[in-house]
Structure 1
Amino acid sequence: MTQGLFLCADIGTSSLKVCVFDGRGNILFSTKREYPTLSPAPGYAEQDPGEIFGALVEAVKEAVSSFPGGSFEVLSFDTMLHSLLLVDGNFTPLAPLWNWMDTRSFQEVEEFRESYEKECLYELTAAPLHTIYHPPRILWLRKHHGDLWKKVSKILSIKDWMLFQLTGELCCDYSTASGTGLLEVQRKAWSGKMCDLLAISPELLPSLVEPDFAAPLMNREFAASTGLPLGMPVVWGGGDGPFANLGEGCFREGEMVVSVGSSGAVRMCALRPVIDPGKRAWCYYLASDIWVGGGAINNGGIVFSWMRDLLREGEVTLDLSRRRPLFLPFLTGERSPYWDPYARGILFGLSFFHTPEALLQAAYESVAFSIRAVFDMLREVMGEPRKVVVGGGFALSENGRRVLCDVLGVPLAVSSYPSSSAKGAFLIALKALGYVRSFEEFPEEFFPTEGRITPNENAHALYEELFRLFKRLYEVNAPLFREFAKLGLA
């Protein structure tokens, strides 16, 4: 397609990864720089935007120095969703970056609920009322930091701010904007109604662009430090979740990606915004008028890692006949489909005779049951998927992919790609540079898989019964979680 190379930056929660792609979609080089999330008080999840920008500089510099001069055509991006950064009139950050893990605005969620329901804000934004979205966060900031709020010139995401540093253009792509809870999905515009209810001016928000928008690199210091030429196209890209679907080749209606790493998500594409009558699913923009309906879980691979570290055990061989408890794995609250920050873990049916292997197997199965709850929600709202690709570290382990397949009860194509979001950034760059006019022009060999697995009928039958109990276990205990939270012991 092209002989040039593509630099793709994936701004993640814990690290920034830079991948070098050739024109056929092969990763030739990859590097990353890690940075911490700090929690100076309960519920806080803060990061230093300057440190993240520094990670970009260092990672790009390493990538560029590994190839001959003049090899690169473009720098393209994808980003973690739900970041919030306040800047002053000089675009200097006024406070640390909030990432998706920040839950300090949980009281504002409750205070805003009446207005949210009365004004039908979910139907406008396709964003459930939750601490990961901007509305309760803005209310918290205005209430607790009024003096700081008076200095705010713009409300940005981390990618908005970084791309402004690179190009001088202040824009937010529709994909990232759809993860703020401030975008009206039918109009693809910032919500005037939401801004009025939050008592903020729409002028605080950046202008909106398509993910294939590009602007020339103008930052001389960045160019000198990294070896990239001034004027190189910088492509805005979008959110890492929707872009993972693109990177897996699942951008057509009814195509689904199940990703399970530390957390997890189920996402299915549609040709129009997805509105769930139950207000459980979110809907984010991908590109080219393609939308992604989905749900995310907090407790993915971290559940098995936590249980393994607690028990000081290693891997486990799954055994359907093993006596074991049922585990409700909500160690950090839960997002979809319950949206319950108070939920916590429960080992149900624990016996004196259960072994460490029994608890490890229960942990594996609990993650799959959480994914199944989101999977069923999407089938209810969007219909049956016509293709399901599974990816992510947990999902690509032998135990993880097997239990997911048996719990979901559908055939799964197993991803062979380690960086699907970054590949989405590569693909949007191809479109931005005019190598393709639509995603349908991408050749099938761009999207290889490691084969297909099918569910075991006996295992699926057992898991159907266990999943019924899993759902009931949450429903019965949901009000008790709130009571327990009041004791301050959770």
Structure 2
Amino acid sequence: MPIRVKEPLWLGVDVGTQAARALVVNDEGKVFGAGSAALASTRRGPWHEQDPRQWWIAVVAATRAALTGIPADAVAALAVDATSGTVLLVDGDGHPRTEALMYDDTRAASQARVVDEVGAPLWHALGYGRMQPSWALPKLLWLLKRHPELASETIRLCHQADLINSNFIGHPVATDTSNALKSGYDLIENRWPSDVFNRLGVPFEVLPKVVRPGTHLGGVGVRASKLTGIPMGTPVVAGMTDGCAAQLGAGCVEIGSWNSVLGTTLVLKGVSGHLVHDPEGALYCHRGPGNTWLPGGASSSGAGVIAEWFGAADLDGLTTAAAELPIGPLAYPLIPRGERFPFRAPNAETFMLGHADTDAGVFAALLLGVACLERLCFDRVAMLGAPTEGPLTFTGGATRNGYWTQLRADMLGRTVWLPHQPEPALGMAILASTSSGKSLADASASIVRGGRELVPNPARAAVLRQRYTDFVEALSARGWLDPAIAQYVHTRP
């Protein structure tokens, strides 16, 4: 029997690495429907690809599941987030013409060096100093070189979220400033820097129009309406990257607040009153609501290593066994090789400090290694002058592991808030709700509800501090961590 709805509902869509998710909520954060559909990737060394045609298939399935039993006209607007730096080339009608290079694909290393040289003054002015091979602009150069047969066609750079939005609306649409950042968009001047792109040999017509997140892009088209059940004309507003979406979903909107998202990779997002500059290019800033900036970065390490190393193992059993072990060995896990944040080291690779003789010991070492990396992330952003003393939230799939979550709080020595509904899709529902005229801060305060507080255990502070010191020294000894960062860490309490 259909649910009776007398209020507007907001649809948020999140396209991640492993699945597409959809969430329907009201203005008080009550969930009326949720759905998901799996996605598959292909990895080969530094290459990581997905078939972009599968994204829309997964989004349709997730959306239909989320809308089950909900009246067709209840959804008042929708917004989409997707992985940051995932790009492809599309034709004039918005159809994929190339493979999709995923957010952590690092094949464009030589192109990144060219981009750094050509655009150095601008990248420094924008706060990140240089571009990483995994960023969208180097990958755009790689795609243009890889596919010379497209030179005679009308083609356009397309971010992952752009492709989903164009499918919802029925024609190509503008991208948003959040996704355009890694493509070289000038967030200070609010324009594509034509001088840089001319020197790189990128035709200006390849670049999409750019709008701010929350901007009305168009209405749901005929085909999308038939596939998803969303009425024609339902507003589609420009979304954000998945990290920014998770930040909104966690209610992280005030200056000094931070959201740490531990999913396949570890992503940190915060709020600052000023543009934060990182000469190493590991941290970068999105534009936030009002006059705020959203500094953050994404590591190459995270919970994805658990699935890679342990597959279908009994993770609950491993967690129970790990919790009974003393704090000991730690593993720095990377899939694939190379680190992006909190430092840049293309040659970084997995290592183990100490000896773990059992599966539970290795599992515990992995959890501890990621916790150490997370602390280094916070030390790094503090070193760069970003405010870090506001509220801290943990989100992401890894928060389901209570032992790991407590370990992370203990390692940081900070009280942590765990939101009740920690999903990027919720962040997009919040953004969609701003189409009614409310501010992002008011929408977040209204929709983000519930959760619990986690207090660090001081009894483990000394041993965790020592393991963290060991971790930092190991990174320094391998030449991956700048000595200035290591020195700063040693001065922190």
Q: TM-score range by the shorter chain?
A: 0.7 to 0.9
- Greater alpha carbon shift after TM alignment, 400-409 vs 43-52: 43-52
Partners of 1:367 and 1:185 in 2: CA distance = 31
After superposition, where does 1:447-466 map in structure 2 within 5 Å? 447-466=448-467
Partners of 1:153 and 1:323 in 2: CA distance = 54
Q: Is the 8 A contact 1:238 1:286 kept in 2?
A: no
Counterpart of 1:340 in structure 2: which amino acid?
A: A
1:214-257 Cα deviation digits (max 9, x unpaired): 14425212223333222221112211211211111111111111
State the 1:350 CA deviation: 2.3
User: Which of residues 428, 431, 440 is equivalent to 2:431?
Assistant: 428
State the 1:401 CA deviation: 1.2
State the 1:444 CA deviation: 4.3
In the other structure, the counterpart of 1:139 is 141
Q: Is the 8 A contact 2:130 2:280 kept in 1?
A: no
Counterpart of 1:18 in structure 2: which amino acid?
A: A
User: Which of residues 354, 358, 370 is equivalent to 1:349?
Assistant: 354
Q: Is the 8 A contact 2:42 2:48 kept in 1?
A: yes
Q: Is the 8 A contact 1:396 1:414 kept in 2?
A: no
State the 1:366 CA deviation: 0.3
Q: Any stretches of 5+ residues in structure 1 without a counterpart?
A: 481-490
After superposition, where does 1:22-33 map in structure 2 within 5 Å? 22-33=26-37
Partners of 1:323 and 1:228 in 2: CA distance = 51
Is 1:59 the counterpart of 2:66? The answer is no
Counterpart of 1:16 in structure 2: which amino acid?
A: A
In the other structure, the counterpart of 2:471 is 470
Counterpart of 1:13 in structure 2: which amino acid?
A: T
After superposition, where does 1:172-191 map in structure 2 within 5 Å? 172-178=175-181, 180-191=182-193
Q: 1:38 to 1:7 in 2, by over 3 A?
A: same
After superposition, where does 1:193-272 map in structure 2 within 5 Å? 193-217=195-219, 219-272=221-274
State the 1:356 CA deviation: 3.6
Partners of 2:418 and 2:311 in 1: CA distance = 27
SS at 2:328 equivalent: coil
In the other structure, the counterpart of 1:486 is none
Partners of 1:235 and 1:275 in 2: CA distance = 30
Q: Is the 8 A contact 1:257 1:268 kept in 2?
A: yes
State the 1:389 CA deviation: 0.8
Partners of 1:308 and 1:235 in 2: CA distance = 40
Identity %: 23
In the other structure, the counterpart of 1:441 is 442
Partners of 2:187 and 2:244 in 1: CA distance = 15
User: Which of residues 8, 11, 15 is equivalent to 1:7?
Assistant: 11
Q: 1:296 to 1:479 in 2, by over 3 A?
A: closer
Q: Is the 8 A contact 1:406 1:459 kept in 2?
A: yes
1:242-291 Cα deviation digits (max 9, x unpaired): 12111111111111111112211111112343222443312123444432
State the 1:144 CA deviation: 3.4
Q: Is the 8 A contact 1:368 1:403 kept in 2?
A: yes
Counterpart of 2:239 in structure 1: which amino acid?
A: G
1:331-370 Cα deviation digits (max 9, x unpaired): 422210222232111112327xx44433222111101011
Partners of 1:301 and 1:443 in 2: CA distance = 27
State the 1:121 CA deviation: 2.2
Is 1:34 the counterpart of 2:42? The answer is no
User: Which of residues 393, 399, 408 is equivalent to 1:395?
Assistant: 399
Q: Is the 8 A contact 2:158 2:208 kept in 1?
A: yes
State the 1:49 CA deviation: 2.3
1:430-459 Cα deviation digits (max 9, x unpaired): 21122x1x2333474633343222222231
Q: 1:87 to 1:221 in 2, by over 3 A?
A: same
TM-score (norm 1): 0.88
In the other structure, the counterpart of 1:367 is 370
In the other structure, the counterpart of 2:489 is none
Q: 1:417 to 1:52 in 2, by over 3 A?
A: same
Partners of 2:8 and 2:68 in 1: CA distance = 15
Counterpart of 1:334 in structure 2: which amino acid?
A: E
Is 1:303 the counterpart of 2:305? The answer is yes
Partners of 1:341 and 1:70 in 2: CA distance = 50
| Aligned positions, number | 472
Higher relative contact order (CA 8 A, sep 6+): 2
Partners of 2:352 and 2:210 in 1: CA distance = 46
Partners of 2:312 and 2:331 in 1: CA distance = 15
Q: Is the 8 A contact 1:316 1:360 kept in 2?
A: no
User: Which of residues 290, 314, 320 is equivalent to 2:318?
Assistant: 314
In the other structure, the counterpart of 1:483 is none
SS at 1:159 equivalent: helix
Partners of 2:130 and 2:6 in 1: CA distance = 42
Q: Is the 8 A contact 1:128 1:281 kept in 2?
A: no
Q: 1:185 to 1:405 in 2, by over 3 A?
A: same
Is 1:379 the counterpart of 2:382? The answer is yes
1:452-481 Cα deviation digits (max 9, x unpaired): 22222231222112111111111222479x
Is 1:340 the counterpart of 2:345? The answer is yes
Partners of 2:255 and 2:466 in 1: CA distance = 31
**RMSD of the TM alignment (CA)?**
2.7
In the other structure, the counterpart of 2:292 is 290
Partners of 1:217 and 1:102 in 2: CA distance = 33
Q: Any stretches of 5+ residues in structure 2 without a counterpart?
A: 482-493
SS at 1:190 equivalent: coil
User: Which of residues 94, 117, 131 is equivalent to 2:97?
Assistant: 94
Q: Is the 8 A contact 1:210 1:287 kept in 2?
A: no
Q: Is the 8 A contact 1:65 1:227 kept in 2?
A: no
- Greater alpha carbon shift after TM alignment, 102-111 vs 16-25: 102-111
Q: Is the 8 A contact 2:33 2:67 kept in 1?
A: no
State the 1:158 CA deviation: 2.2
Q: Is the 8 A contact 1:407 1:460 kept in 2?
A: yes
User: Which of residues 321, 329, 332 is equivalent to 2:333?
Assistant: 329
State the 1:375 CA deviation: 1.0
User: Which of residues 395, 412, 417 is equivalent to 1:413?
Assistant: 417
1:184-227 Cα deviation digits (max 9, x unpaired): 12223222243133211332211111211114425212223333
State the 1:171 CA deviation: 0.5
In the other structure, the counterpart of 1:487 is none
Q: 1:64 to 1:465 in 2, by over 3 A?
A: closer
User: Which of residues 118, 121, 124 is equivalent to 2:123?
Assistant: 121
Counterpart of 1:214 in structure 2: which amino acid?
A: H
